[in-house]
Structure 1
Amino acid sequence: MVSSVVQALPVGILPEPLLRAESTGGKFLLMAFAVLLFAAIFGLVLFLASLFKGREGEKVQGFLFALPAIFLLAVGLLYPAILTIIQSLRGRSGEAGFSLDNYVQMFTQPELLTVLRNTALWVVLVPFLATAIGLLYAILIDRARGEAFAKALIFLPMAISMVGAGIIWKFVYQYKQTERPQIGLLNGVLKALGFETQQFLLDAPLNTLMLIVVMVWIQAGFAMTVLSAAIKAIPDDIIEAARLDGVSGFRMFRFITLPSIRSALVVVLTTIGIGTLKVFDIVRTMTAGQFDTSVVANEFYNQSFRYNAPGLGAALAVLLFILVIPIVTYNIVQMRKEA
């Protein structure tokens, strides 16, 4: 974002070598200039805000304090988004002109239709499986002995990067012929049970499901943490009143627990859903999108940087943005209802 802000400045304010910042010294100079620019803008905002007093002045002060953030969002988010949309409306290789060919190809080419199918499968399965596992775990260990330790076990994968998790699970799925010694945990178990070993990352659509397992493994800890806090926030008098009325077991969950944590469920589902739409690291690390496992984010990378098709890559990025909008909108609507 700093580079975008600096490049947006009028020509002549910075020397050309500093704008490029190709050398180590140039990068340090660019960083120093960014820090000084931030300090100068912050000081100017404080000075201007001090000139306004009273209730009307508070409104002006609020606008002044929000102005730098609005500017950074415009330069670092809105401006690149507009450029991406324009790029998507050009030819596949980014040639000048107006065309919808990139969007037509996206919904007609068999390879890209597979990408869209895989993405839909991720978005349907990951949020619901991760949330269901996290909720079940939170209910089972609630107020149990060793609750903190049990929570730490399922939360640990959240501390691992997506790339690290991908490498770990790639070893878990490692394939060797049945008669050979196995180094993959899953195939080792299959061999020990007398079954043939499987190529979990090569055979479609099984390989996509195996990649989804990794994402569920990571996100279940997040779901458990949020939902466990929501369960503990349920007032004790509501639970006691339900028990006095003879409510227990599944009925307690359905009529008391579930309605009480509804807002937390919405947050968890939408947050995991947005993260799943943007999944890239796991696919890139484990299969590189080969064997019919690619998703929209990975295909955007491939088209833009490997296949010299920035126009099609931009169209995929726009599609990703459009898919996120309904989830974010629904989340905002639900949060306003709860407010």
Structure 2
Amino acid sequence: MSPLVQGLVTILIGVGGCVGYFYLSNLVLDRVIFPARGPDPGRNISRANAVRPWLFLFPAMAALGLYLVYPVVGSFWRSLFDRDGDEFIGAGNYASLAADETFRTAVFNNLLWVLVVPAAATFIGLVSAQLTDRLRWGNLAKSMIFMPMAISFVGASLIWKFVYANEADIGLINAIRAALGADNPVDVLQIPFWNNFFLMMVLIWIQTGFAMVILSAALRGIPEETVEAAIIDGANPFQIFFRIKVPQIMGTIVVVWTTITILVLKVFDIVYTMTGGNFGTQILPSYMMGYMFRDDGRATAVAFVIMVLVLPVMVWNIRQARKELR
């Protein structure tokens, strides 16, 4: 069977299966389980209407249970066994992680990423959105700022690896240093602690365009009356921006910040491509990949730690979204 025919058959089976499920489930609900007849048909109709939403939710809940809940529970259970999966060791893998200096370094670096990248990308994106909206050629500027979003993390990492190259003929940083009179080139990716910030620049460069587009739309939704009133009251441009506009789009800023935060906790490609986790740049996802094919128990323990770190951010984001809807 050709790929085209296979795709069409899959679509027909999927769509037909969904339509058939909803039609038959409603038919059974209305005619067999709670038929609109008998001594109290109104009560049966009310019961059927109470159950009907769950019929529509069931496929999504089943898929989430199969592809989300089951893997989470399975991963946690697997993290309680040794590297071969034969011997139950309880919290042994987690105790080994806590005693591992490399793991502690990875956690510290992850915290640095979480503190720096979302704040920097959101702030630069917010400023870019404000400035480009005031330019005649703002759409062109937005396109150029947003362009890195179309580049994969690996591709962006290779681009910045050339920027950081320790040769003055290739690396931009060393070319600038050579122009200023420095004799010896330096490999910034091997400078302890500070090399983490050079890696963060790659993700900030990529995510600034995302933040700019979302925040630009939010800024355009601010009522002009509030801005005009502030101008009449004598507010300067900085006061208008930080005291009038920013508070009105704070909900959007929070959503952008949390979205980038969740992405940061899962980033792997940049570190793996540029340093491989060496020179003190290890983060949790790259640390997990180091054990993936030689110690499955410890790797799943790290994966569960990452999930626990992401969970509070997601819960807080959901609560903020609910507040916006109220």
Query: Do they fold alike, i.e. is TM over 0.5?
Result: yes
- Cα distance in 2, alignment partners of residues 79 and 249 from structure 1: 53
Q: 2:319 aligns with which of 328, 333, 337?
A: 333
- Cα distance in 2, alignment partners of residues 78 and 30 from structure 1: 28
Return the letter of the residue paired with 2:87: A
Aligned residues: 308
- Cα distance in 2, alignment partners of residues 34 and 298 from structure 1: 37
Query: After the TM superposition, which residues 1-339 of structure 1 pair with which residues of structure 2 at under 5 Å, given as runs?
Result: 36=13, 39-40=16-17, 42-50=19-27, 52=29, 56-176=47-167, 182-195=169-182, 196-305=184-293, 308-339=294-325
Which consecutive aligned stretches of 4+ in structure 1 deviate over 3 angstroms post-superposition?
28-42, 50-61, 92-95
Structure 1 residue 105: Cα displacement: 2.0
For structure 2, the 5+ residue unaligned runs are 31-44
What TM-score, normalized to structure 2?
0.87
- Cα distance in 2, alignment partners of residues 268 and 41 from structure 1: 34
Cα separation, partners in 2 of 1:34 and 1:296, compared to 1, 3 Å: farther
- Cα distance in 2, alignment partners of residues 163 and 243 from structure 1: 46
Structure 1 residue 210: Cα displacement: 0.9
Checking the alignment, whether the CA contact within 8 Å between 1:92 and 1:102 is kept in structure 2 is no
Cα separation, partners in 2 of 1:246 and 1:66, compared to 1, 3 Å: same
Structure 1 residue 94: Cα displacement: 3.3
Cα separation, partners in 2 of 1:32 and 1:303, compared to 1, 3 Å: farther
Cα separation, partners in 2 of 1:315 and 1:262, compared to 1, 3 Å: same
Return the letter of the residue paired with 1:212: M
- Cα distance in 2, alignment partners of residues 258 and 121 from structure 1: 25
The 3-state SS of whatever aligns with 1:107 is helix
For structure 1, the 5+ residue unaligned runs are 1-23
Checking the alignment, whether the CA contact within 8 Å between 1:88 and 1:312 is kept in structure 2 is yes
Return the letter of the residue paired with 1:78: V
Checking the alignment, whether the CA contact within 8 Å between 2:117 and 2:200 is kept in structure 1 is yes
Checking the alignment, whether the CA contact within 8 Å between 1:84 and 1:318 is kept in structure 2 is yes
Which has the larger displacement, 239-248 or 91-100?
Answer: 91-100
Structure 1 residue 41: Cα displacement: 5.1
- Cα distance in 2, alignment partners of residues 42 and 298 from structure 1: 43
Checking the alignment, whether the CA contact within 8 Å between 1:129 and 1:216 is kept in structure 2 is yes
- Cα distance in 2, alignment partners of residues 197 and 50 from structure 1: 75
Structure 1 residue 204: Cα displacement: 1.6
The 3-state SS of whatever aligns with 1:250 is helix
Deviations 1:4-37 (A, max 9, x none): xxxxxxxxxxxxxxxxxxxx99xx9999789746
Structure 1 residue 140: Cα displacement: 1.6
CA root-mean-square deviation: 2.4
Which has the larger displacement, 57-66 or 105-114?
Answer: 57-66
